[in-house]
Amino acid sequence: MENSDMAEMKIGIVIPAHNEAMTISACLKSIHKAITQLPSTILAYPLVVLDGCTDETLALVKNAGVDYIECDYHCVGRVRDIGIRHAIKNGATWIACTDADSIVTPDWLVQQVIHIEQQATDMICGVVSVDNWAHLTTQTQKDYIAHYQDMMGHRHIHGANLSFSSKSYLAVGGFAPLPCHEDVDLVKRFEDQDYAITWSNRVRVITSSRLDARANEGFAAFLANLEKDNL
């Protein structure tokens, strides 16, 4: 993203949600706080993409006064893509992705803006912290920490903490209609087309340590497999 575009920057924050009544309110509250940290010259707004929700998620999103659209894809790649294209159609020049079971840090958006200003980056891959280890074995925590590179230049990819310019997103074709690893696929296409990627541990999200995975090979499944190996 060119620095000259900063004056017209509008951030669309896209959150897919499938039956996330237990977590969506905290997620939206954290996003609102992050938005308030931005300078007044930068606009930002959240958009929840409700995917086949049968619980109280919709009511909670309405109560929070947040914009939403509904679909019934049960495919996270399609859900993210429809939300992002909706945000771009409504003027978003930068897209910030997170998940409904995650909480963004207060400076989540500010740090993204700093990277864009300093490095003219096209994509930022951030890091995640686990919210609670209490229900997991000590060895699972140790294995995770040993595996995870919480530093600048890491190579972790999380759909819960991925952001990019709208122009670049459209140029590479957007998220593929994949039920998992849609984030890895998108990053690879950015890399293949030589877009500038920043691997940052200053852009942070705290994500759920639940083991009941929404995606068969997502973050919850990764933790569940670690825990299974240690039981």
Domain borders along the chain are: 3-131+149-210
CB 177 within 8 A of CB 77: yes
CA dist 1 → 45, 93, 112, 180 (Å): 19, 9, 12, 27
pLDDT at 125: 98
* Model pLDDT, residue 210: 61
What's the pLDDT score for residue 144? 75
Taking the chain (231 residues) in runs of 10, the rounded mean pLDDT of each run is 68 97 97 97 97 98 98 97 98 98 97 95 95 73 83 96 98 96 97 98 86 64 70 70
Confidence (pLDDT) at 2: 58
CATH number of 3-131+149-210: 3.90.550.10
> Tokens 């940052």 identify what position?
200
Per-residue confidence (pLDDT) for residue 139, from 0 to 100: 82
Closest CA to 122 of 39, 1, 221: 1
How confident is the model at residue 181, as a pLDDT?
93
CA 121/CA 113 separation, integer angstroms: 10
Three state DSSP letters for the chain: CCHHHHHHCEEEEEEEECCCCCCHHHHHHHHHHHHHCCCCCCEEEEEEEEECCCCCHHHHHHHHCCEEEEECCCCHHHHHHHHHHHHHHCCCCEEEECCCCEEECCCHHHHHHHHHHHHCCCEEEEEEEECCCCCCCHHHHHHHHHHCCCCCCCCCCCHHHEEEEHHHHHHHCCCCCCCCCHHHHHHHHHHHCCCCEEEEEEEEEEECCCCCCCCCCCHHHHHHHHHHHHC
pLDDT of 193 reads: 98
At 219 the pLDDT is: 73
Q: What is the pLDDT of residue 90?
A: 97
Query: pTM above the 0.95 mark?
Result: no
Q: How far apart are CA 157 and CA 60, in angstroms?
A: 29
Distance CA 116, CA 124 (A): 9
Residue entry with tokens 């409904």: 100
Query: Positive or negative, the Cα torsion across 95, 97, 100, 103?
Result: negative
